[in-house]
Amino acid sequence: MDTFPSEDNRTEEAATIKLAHFSLAWSIFHEIYHIKLAHNCASAQVGIDTPERFQEDEFKCDAYATHMIVGGVEPYAKHSNEDLMQVRRL
């Protein structure tokens, strides 16, 4: 017997897909910033890779990726006349 997924299952599936999309986008933005850092520092920073610098670069890439994902929430809500708290919940 074929059955349709319940509303709860569709909601869970949609949430899972959204989470996968956000995770993928965050990872791509993170790696893009690694490329940008390498390009900007290639000539000036040759041979200066230390654990501290590695960690600093990772934090910079994390911050960039996070900003790219959630940094535009407030302008989007204002521009689209949406409730900011509602947009943040999505």
Q: What is the pLDDT of residues 58-73, one digit of tens each?
A: 999 999 999 999 888 8
Residue 4 has pLDDT above 70, yes or no: no
Distance of alpha carbon 36 from alpha carbon 46, whole angstroms: 15
Q: Count how many Cα atoms sit within 13 Å of the Cα of residue 52 in the half-sphere of its side chain.
A: 1
Split at pLDDT 50, 70, 90, the class of 3 is low
CA gap 7, 58 in Å, rounded: 40
For the segment 11-49, what is each residue's pLDDT rounded down to a tens digit? 888 889 989 999 999 999 999 999 998 876 654 555 567
